[in-house]
Structure 1
Amino acid sequence: MSGPKPLANILEITPYKGGQKLDHGWKLSSNENPLGCSPAAREALSKAAEHLEMYPDGACFALREAIGKKYGVDPDRIVCGAGSDEIFQLLGRAYLKPGDEIIQSQHGFLVYRLVAQQSGAKCISAPETELTASVDAILDRVTDKTRIVFLANPNNPTGSYIPFDEVRRLHKGLRDDILLVLDGAYAEYVRQNDYSAGMDMAGEEPNVLVTRTFSKIHGLAGLRVGWAYGPESVIDALHRVRGPFNVTSVGQAAAIAALADDSFVTKSADHNNDELDRLKPALEKMGYKVYPSVANFLLIQFEDRDGKRAEDADAFLRARGIVIRDMKAYGLPDCMRLSIGTREANDDVLAAFEAFAKAD
């Protein structure tokens, strides 16, 4: 007996694989916060865990209120999810059908493509310029089938971003019935003056949605809490397709506490920027090509010769207890992505990279 068969488009999906880890050493493959999470968030989680027999608040009322107060936006125009990943899945359910198209930049986050495939839609990748999203390339690929444009800004895995005037130019070039999704997972790390996560635009325009997460700078990746802010009509649609209790009670409690701990966020951003400034030139001095990054990771390119390719570096680093992320799935087979770790971890990384550079 053959049993039930899934839809054909589902069998075409290559499941997403997160960053791997070793039994020992440093895991620097998933862009996690090396400082952990806010002590206040940990305490709030512990208190909330005293009542695990109770269902969470399905509306995430207190969390939405806290987010609204923090960013000065209407809580009724916020929807929460199990990480921003779930928000993307909800968008697929609400707005995509077979034959539709989404557009992303060439090396955009892999989950966007998965969302399209699950809905029977097609993912169109727009070429980048020096690993940076190109507004012109995205607009050139808009068709009457385009329903969503996903823009990760900053982008994972390249670490690049486009200035906000370019984001506005992109939006101006889109039809009103195309939803522009601004993925700000790494927004808190960016300190460039020409950058904006797009909250104002999401508050003003009927077809702009901003997504954010507590997984990165807040260090709550294990709890899966994300959110989105945008037009009432879009938020209403997402509420209609989400699960009734899609964010756990402990996740909501920890997120509220994390949101109030500005000192932890500042400490995390300072550490990240200090280590970016230390690691990038040090690696370049060893002869590696390292792309500029405003996020909490670096994209490193390796030579195309025996013994010095990306897979060779991966094996060398793993033997020393260091795991970083290969980029084959992103169409960057000669690159690897290094998450910023603790200073101790980063010292070991520099020593390992130097040894690899000198190895025969």
Structure 2
Amino acid sequence: MSSTDMPRPKPGVMEIAAYVPGRETAHGAAKVYKLSSNESPLGPSPKVAEAIAAKNADLALYPDGSAHVLRDAISRTYGLNPGNIMCGNGSDELLGLLCQTYLAPGDEGLFTQHGFLVYKIQIMAAGATPVSVLDTDLTANVDNILAAVTERTKLVFLANPNNPTGTYIPVSEVRRLHAGLPANVILVLDAAYAEYVRRNDYEAGIELVSANANVVMTRTFSKIHGLAGLRIGWMYAHEAIIDACNRVRGPFNVNALAITAGAAAIGDRAHIDRAVEHNEAWLGRVVEAVEALGLSVTPSVGNFVLIHFPNTPGKTAVEADEYLGARGFVLRRVAGYGLPDALRMTIGSEEANLGVIDALKSFMA
């Protein structure tokens, strides 16, 4: 069969740069510390294993298509109407559903210069046009975003805090952004790292969603709750947006174990607090130690830091990645985010954090 006879994907699909997750392995290292995907070093709540064990007998049955147990648990935690909540196979699926539901060829979706790569992928998968908006000092710039809005704009994605930079904009700026958008444009607030933020001027987006019909907040269980392997996300939105997306999503998009585990995890406040305290204790310590080596670090409010390396031969980000990887420390290359001279490091266990600091000392010597 010749190549001209092969099935062809729809126009635009082959122009999408496939998402590449953080590397997991380090060849030749006796022990590997994976610090490339912003996973929780504490893992999930002990209550998750108990809940999953109790659910094992029911695995021959389809899960509840509405995920009502998980939605009810989320609504109790945040005081929300469960009718305004949708759960998904990670927040990635929900971002994709929003694109599939509200974007068509000729439409535009906006995202910031160093924003999550999935935004561009899902916009293009929906056949729409991705529009990248310049940041200022690796931080979202509201004026730039508003200036990029046209009559074709239908979705505006804002990761707050942003991955991979760790920066955020205060709620006053988020509200100014929303106020400047036309009523038919949806502002999507991706608050995957919201639980880690300890700033008085930060809000994840609940109040803005509650008061407006064109704002969506997405959240995830992959970070603070330590459940990345089960792929659980949720979004809070006006009932009209929930209704529209429900017509597009798969009927059983969240599996039974994920529903059970998520409900158990979100109810364990003590475990969540421990995860936050661990991150608070180590975030500043890692930054201080890395900066003492002469490297710059972008101020972060998440559970990771963005470390910048010089262009000096022997001291570049590529060489640092190779040096750390050979010693079992797997960080995240972020060249795909337009940051070729940086590595992103998840705040890991005490052993992992100290190991990276020691290895960087040797590398920079």
TM-score by length of 2: 0.97
How many Å separate the matches in 2 of 1:186 and 1:76? 24
- Cα drift, residue 116 of structure 1: 0.8
Gaps of at least 5 residues in structure 1 are none
- Cα drift, residue 50 of structure 1: 2.3
Report the equivalent of 1:333.
340
Q: Over aligned residue pairs, what C-alpha RMSD do you find?
A: 0.8
Structure 1: 4+ residue segments shifted above 6 A:
none
Report the equivalent of 1:5.
8
Report the equivalent of 1:101.
108
Gaps of at least 5 residues in structure 2 are none
Give the residue type in structure 2 aligned to 1:64. R
Report the equivalent of 2:25.
22
111, 114, 126: which one aligns with 2:121: 114
Give the residue type in structure 1 aligned to 2:356. V
Report the equivalent of 2:305.
298
68, 81, 97: which one aligns with 2:75: 68
213, 216, 222: which one aligns with 1:209: 216
How many Å separate the matches in 1 of 2:361 and 2:90? 36
SS in 2 for 1:181: strand
SS in 1 for 2:182: coil
How many Å separate the matches in 1 of 2:57 and 2:257? 10
- Cα drift, residue 99 of structure 1: 1.4
Give the residue type in structure 1 aligned to 2:16. I
The percent of aligned pairs where both chains have the same amino acid is 51
How many Å separate the matches in 2 of 1:87 and 1:125? 20
Report the equivalent of 2:362.
355
- Cα drift, residue 145 of structure 1: 0.6
128, 133, 137: which one aligns with 1:130: 137
- Cα drift, residue 3 of structure 1: 2.7
SS in 1 for 2:12: helix
SS in 2 for 1:64: helix
1:344 to 2:347 alignment:
no
Q: For residues 101-180 of structure 1, what are the structure 2 equivalents within 5 Å?
A: 101-180=108-187
How many Å separate the matches in 1 of 2:275 and 2:129? 38
- Cα drift, residue 63 of structure 1: 1.0
How many Å separate the matches in 1 of 2:53 and 2:166? 34
How many Å separate the matches in 2 of 1:134 and 1:71? 29
| 1:291-337 deviations in Å (ceiling 9; x for gaps) | 10000000010001211111000110011111100011000001110
SS in 2 for 1:8: coil
- Cα drift, residue 49 of structure 1: 2.2
277, 290, 296: which one aligns with 1:289: 296
Report the equivalent of 1:43.
50
How many Å separate the matches in 2 of 1:183 and 1:231? 16
How many Å separate the matches in 2 of 1:291 and 1:83? 27
Q: For residues 147-296 of structure 1, what are the structure 2 equivalents within 5 Å?
A: 147-296=154-303
| 1:123-145 deviations in Å (ceiling 9; x for gaps) | 11111111110000100100011
Is the deviation greater in 20-29 or in 113-122? Answer: 20-29
SS in 1 for 2:270: helix
SS in 1 for 2:24: coil
SS in 2 for 1:242: coil
| 1:135-162 deviations in Å (ceiling 9; x for gaps) | 0010010001100000000000000000
- Cα drift, residue 46 of structure 1: 2.1
Give the residue type in structure 2 aligned to 1:11. M
Give the residue type in structure 2 aligned to 1:7. K
How many Å separate the matches in 2 of 1:225 and 1:308? 39
- Cα drift, residue 8 of structure 1: 2.3
Give the residue type in structure 2 aligned to 1:21. E
TM-score by length of 1: 0.98
How many Å separate the matches in 2 of 1:133 and 1:356? 32
SS in 1 for 2:136: coil
How many Å separate the matches in 2 of 1:262 and 1:140? 41
Number of equivalenced pairs = 358
